[in-house]
């Protein structure tokens, strides 16, 4: 591998990390402004292209601590990533789940007390 190719890969990884931080900051900010979830923890886990945003949260009318582990990068086309579109799409999925009552009524916590929800599936 040439030095130019190696440098190009490093730039791509740095750019990906910047996109990930911006995605996390914007999405968590939107969820906090929405006010329906109390976010206990939000963190980026892993590294490009397998990075995920882990969010642990509560809602007012449920006794559970919920968690979502959201894969950031599209496996097929990470080069098409658009932070604004990704934040909008993910935020709309969160609001859809909250608006339609998809949160489960009963908790199924793991050993850390978190009931994990698959973001892109029905939560109920």
One digit per residue, the tens of pLDDT, for the chain of length 124 reads 565 445 454 446 678 888 889 989 999 999 999 999 999 999 999 988 788 899 999 998 888 999 999 888 776 666 666 778 888 889 999 999 889 888 888 899 999 999 999 887 776 6
Q: Does 76 fall in a domain?
A: yes
Q: Does 123 fall in a domain?
A: no
> Whole-structure pTM over 0.85, yes or no?
no
Q: Tell me whether the omega of the peptide bond preceding residue 46 falls within 30 degrees of 0, making it cis.
A: no
Element (H, E) at 57: strand 52-59
* Counted domains in the chain: 1
Q: Does 122 fall in a domain?
A: no
- Structural domain boundaries enclosing 90: 3-117
């Amino acid at each position: 591998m040439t030095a130019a190719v190696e440098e190009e890969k490093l730039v791509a990884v740095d750019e990906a990390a910047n996109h990930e931080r911006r995605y996390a900051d914007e999405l968590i900010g939107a969820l906090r402004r929405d006010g329906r979830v109390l976010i206990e923890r939000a963190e980026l886990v892993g590294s490009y292209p397998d990075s995920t945003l882990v969010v642990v949260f509560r809602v007012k009318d449920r006794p559970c601590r919920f968690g979502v582990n959201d894969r950031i990068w599209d496996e097929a086309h990470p080069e098409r990533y658009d932070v604004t579109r990704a934040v909008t799409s993910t935020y709309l999925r969160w609001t859809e789940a909250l608006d339609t009552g998809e949160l489960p009524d009963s908790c199924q916590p793991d050993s850390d007390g978190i009931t994990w929800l698959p973001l892109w599936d029905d939560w109920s």
